[in-house]
Amino acid sequence: MENLLANIRNCRVCAASLPNTPRPILQASHRSRIVIIGQAPGQKVQDSGIPWDDQSGNELRRWLGVSKEQFYDPELFALIPMGFCYPGKGKSGDLPPRPECAPLWHKPLFDYMTEVKLIILIGQYAQNYYLDDTKHLTLTAIVKGYNNYLPTYLPLVHPSPRNIIWQKKNPWFELEIVPALRVIIESIS
């Protein structure tokens, strides 16, 4: 697995399309039990080189009910984005994850991670890639129907501060989903 991680970190497949020098960011171990598949690193994470090293990561850890030490333990959490590098800025936020990464690297990673108990899919890019028959559903419907995807997958909204309005419109998320998520995480960790 170390060779695979080195190959991913040295990937330059989409270098010409990126605003920065490629710096693929991930965390994984062959013993990872929970995989979090997010979108792509933001500029702050791209600069630090640490997955989820931003406000979104703080909120995600709160939802999960875990400490930073637990979160950054690769034997507990694999942190794998749909796009491994910061894709750049768009008109209304960051650009979508680069489409090359997931098809190129996800399967080889999962081939090594044989102890995975749960895959958390954050946002529509990950959900559309991994869940069948969801393209006609809204993100809200997918997240609200999380039980339909267990025990393998658990879909979540992105923990970005940009989604505070969504959370206020959907109070059931904090009341129902977050406690259920914590119970599942605690049972695995």
Convert the pLDDT of each residue in 106-136 to its tens digit. 999 999 999 999 999 999 999 999 998 888 8
Q: What is the pLDDT of residues 148-161, one digit of tens each?
A: 999 999 999 999 98
Is the whole model's pTM more than 0.85, yes or no?
yes
The whole-number pLDDT of residue 154 equals 98
Q: Is the pLDDT of residue 72 over 90?
A: yes
Percent of the chain whose predicted confidence (pLDDT) is above 90? 89
E-state strands within 39-143: 77-81, 89-90, 93-94, 118-122
Over range 139-150, report the average pLDDT.
96
CB 42 within 8 A of CB 123: no
Residue 91: pLDDT band with limits 50, 70, 90: confident
Residue 151: is the preceding peptide bond cis (ω within 30°)?
Answer: yes
Structural domains of the chain, with CATH: 2-188 (3.40.470.10)
Other Cβ atoms less than 10 A from the Cβ of 102: the count is 20
Q: Give the model's confidence band at 41: pLDDT under 50 very low, under 70 low, under 90 confident, else very high.
A: very high
